[in-house]
């Protein structure tokens, strides 16, 4: 049975009706001469979302994990040293993926709830005078902990050390929703996926590639075949793909990019911030704490909430799902059981967010949490009322 409730997991996100319609298409010949008319604008319109004009964006029929693999295998060689930090499930999984490709991982452990440890990175880069480190990995938005890291600061650490390592950024739960500036931050590889900010089903790995990353492909020796970006880029330049693309997903992406452009990138970021801030006010009103340790780290796409001692966050998520038909995110890895997550990215309005907060409250009260029914909703309502005028276009208000 279909469930009409919105979902509050941080990916896949709610799929707007407009995108579902856009994906309802007949098969077409991806080798036909007019296929280029579909894909070329998609590639062009992706660039501003990534914040790049110097780079290019490639698409693989895969998920974000495939995007990690493509980024790594195309630009590095087995034995290369890679700097990374483990501060959540997604940064951990990227490290694991790199190890399986024979990369020599230098991993900094950071508390889950902290961001990328930029100072530790800066020291490691400054000490690496013979440039053994070939790449630096950074997770822009750690979806497991609701932590956004400062990618500009990571670039600054590379610049200060005058270090040539590639900067590889996981932007799966940020790109399309949060401000992302690939060129300005000097990001060489930026990984996204279709099922988060782009509001589509999973199935596309979307990877931004800088000219420097493109050049690194000529000497990198990690094995790759399906994910070989040189094949992909050559085919794309000729208006096609090296193998069969998912035409419905490409049609969906074309429409998704149109939606993001119509709303305006800054308005999209502002909307995510506003909705997230309302959720955070609700959490404060409940008397609960965020997993993210400081306001500078707060994510505007997902909020990870610590449950009180003695409560099981997994049971809370299960209860909300079975009793009210509303999915929230469970805690992953080191924070399993202690954290539940409210995803609020992609197609999300304050009214939708309020329904999620109301449901979370019902579930918590059902399970004996020491919170007052309505307290979080009231705090979010107050904030949304205060700020609603900013969300209404002048023409509609007149
Ligand atoms: C969702 C996500 C991924 C990748 O997940 P897939 O399931 O492979 O698409 C990677 N990193 C982050 C930060 C994510 O949120």
Pocket test for ligand 1, best of 10, 61, 65, 189 (most atoms within 8 A of CB): 65
Cβ contact 145:333 at 8 Å: no
> What pLDDT score was predicted for residue 1?
57
Ligand 1 atom with minimal separation from the 10 CA: 15
Burial (0-12, 13-18, 19+ Cβ within 10 Å), 18: middle
**How far does residue 394's CA lie from ligand 1's centre (Å)?**
37
In the reported structure, the alpha carbon of residue 66 is separated from the centroid of ligand 1 by a whole-number distance in angstroms of 9
278 alpha carbon to ligand 1 midpoint, in Å? 25
Ligand 1 centre distance from Cα of residue 59 (Å): 15
**Residue bearing the CA closest to ligand 1, atom 4:** 64
Any atom of ligand 1 within 6 Å of the Cβ of 143 = yes
Residue-level pLDDT at 3: 84
Most informative mutation of 141, 143, 180, 304 for ligand 1 (most atoms within 8 A of CB): 143
User: Of all atoms in ligand 1, which is nearest to the CA of residue 67?
Assistant: 8
User: Start-end ranges of CATH 3.90.1150.10 in the chain?
Assistant: 265-397
Q: Nearest 5 degrees, angle CA 347-CA 353-CA 354?
A: 150
pLDDT tens, residue by residue, 167-197? 999 999 999 999 999 999 999 999 999 999 9
Residue 395: per-residue pLDDT: 46
Between CA 242 and CA 221 the distance in angstroms is 20
Can you say which residues are annotated as belonging to the binding site for substrate?
341
Residues in contact with 149: Cβ distance below 8 Å, sequence separation at least 6, in sequence order: 115, 116, 118, 138, 139, 140, 141, 142, 297
Give the residue, by CA position, lying nearest to ligand 1 atom 12.
Answer: 172
CA of 183 from ligand 1 middle (Å) equals 22
Binding residues: 341
The CA 160 to ligand 1 mean position distance, Å, reads: 30
Whether 137 is in the pocket of ligand 1, judged by its Cβ within 6 Å, is no
Q: Which of 132, 139, 127, 185 is nearest to 159 (CA)?
A: 185
Q: How far apart are CA 239 and CA 37, in angstroms?
A: 8
Residue 2 pLDDT = 75
Q: How many helices (H) and strands (E) does the chain have?
A: 14, 12
- pLDDT tens digits for range 257-279: 999 999 999 999 999 999 999 99
Task: Measure 150 CA to ligand 1 centroid, in angstroms.
Answer: 19
Q: Could you tell which of 7, 13, 62, 63 is best to mutate to test the pocket of ligand 1, judged by most ligand atoms within 8 Å of the CB?
A: 63
3-state DSSP percent of the chain in helix, strand and coil, to 5: 45, 15, 40
> What pLDDT is attached to residue 390?
52
Task: Enumerate residue ranges in the chain where pLDDT < 50.
Answer: 392, 394-398
CATH 3.10.440.10 for domain 17-261: no
Indicate if ligand 1 lies below 6 Å from the C-beta of 139: yes
CA of 12 to the centre of ligand 1 (A): 9
For residue 234, the Cα-to-chain-centroid distance in whole angstroms is 27
Q: Is the shortest distance between the CB of 90 and ligand 1 below 6 Å?
A: yes
Domain with CATH 3.40.640.10 in the chain: 17-261
pLDDT computed for residue 143 by the predictor: 98
Sign of CA dihedral 144, 145, 149, 154: negative
* Residue among 56, 48, 49 at smallest CA distance from 74: 56
Which residue minimizes the CA distance to atom 2 of ligand 1? 172
Ligand 1 pocket residue status of 45, Cβ below 6 Å = no
What architecture does CATH give domain 265-397? Alpha-Beta Complex (3.90)
Is the CB of residue 255 less than 8 Å from the CB of residue 15? no
User: Is residue 64 in contact with ligand 1, taking CB distance under 6 Å?
Assistant: yes
For ligand 1, the distance from its centroid to the CA atom of residue 32, given in whole angstroms, is 33
């Amino acid at each position: 049975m279909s469930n009409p409730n919105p979902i509050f997991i941080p990916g896949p996100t709610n799929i707007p009706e407009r995108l579902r319609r856009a994906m309802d298409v007949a098969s077409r010949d991806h080798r036909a001469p007019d296929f280029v008319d579909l894909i070329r604008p998609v590639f062009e319109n992706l660039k501003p979302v990534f914040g790049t004009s110097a780079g290019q964006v490639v698409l693989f029929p895969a998920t974000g994990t495939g995007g990690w693999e493509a980024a790594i295998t195309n630009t590095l060689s087995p034995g290369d040293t890679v700097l990374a930090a483990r501060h959540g499930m997604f940064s951990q999984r990227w490290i694991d993926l790199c190890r399986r490709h024979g990369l020599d991982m230098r991993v900094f452990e950071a508390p889950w709830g902290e961001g990328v440890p930029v100072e530790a990175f800066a020291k490691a880069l400054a000490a690496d005078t013979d440039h053994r480190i070939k790449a630096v990995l950074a997770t822009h938005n750690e979806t497991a902990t609701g932590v956004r890291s400062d990618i500009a600061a990571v670039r600054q650490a590379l610049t200060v050390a005058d270090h040539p390592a590639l900067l590889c950024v996981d932007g799966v739960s940020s790109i399309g929703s949060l401000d992302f500036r690939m060129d300005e931050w000097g990001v060489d590889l930026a990984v996204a996926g279709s099922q988060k900010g782009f509001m589509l089903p999973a199935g596309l790995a979307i990877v931004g590639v800088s000219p420097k990353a493109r050049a690194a492909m000529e000497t990198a020796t990690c094995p790759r075949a399906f994910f070989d970006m040189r094949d992909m880029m050559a085919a794309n330049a000729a208006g096609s793909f090296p193998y069969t693309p998912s035409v419905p997903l490409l049609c969906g992406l074309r429409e998704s990019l149109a939606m993001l452009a119509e709303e305006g990138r800054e308005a999209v970021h502002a909307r995510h911030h506003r909705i997230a801030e309302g959720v955070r006010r609700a959490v404060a009103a409940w008397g609960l704490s965020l997993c993210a340790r400081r306001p500078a780290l707060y994510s505007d796409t997902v909020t990870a909430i610590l449950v009180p001692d003695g409560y099981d966050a997994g049971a809370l998520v299960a209860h909300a799902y079975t009793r009210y038909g509303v999915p929230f995110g469970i805690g992953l890895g080191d924070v399993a059981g202690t954290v539940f997550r409210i995803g609020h990215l992609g197609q999300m309005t304050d009214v939708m967010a309020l329904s999620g907060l109301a449901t979370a409250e019902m579930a918590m009260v059902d399970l004996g949490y020491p919170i007052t029914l309505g307290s979080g909703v009231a705090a979010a309502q107050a904030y949304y009322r205060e700020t609603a005028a900013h969300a209404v276009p002048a023409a509609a208000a007149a």
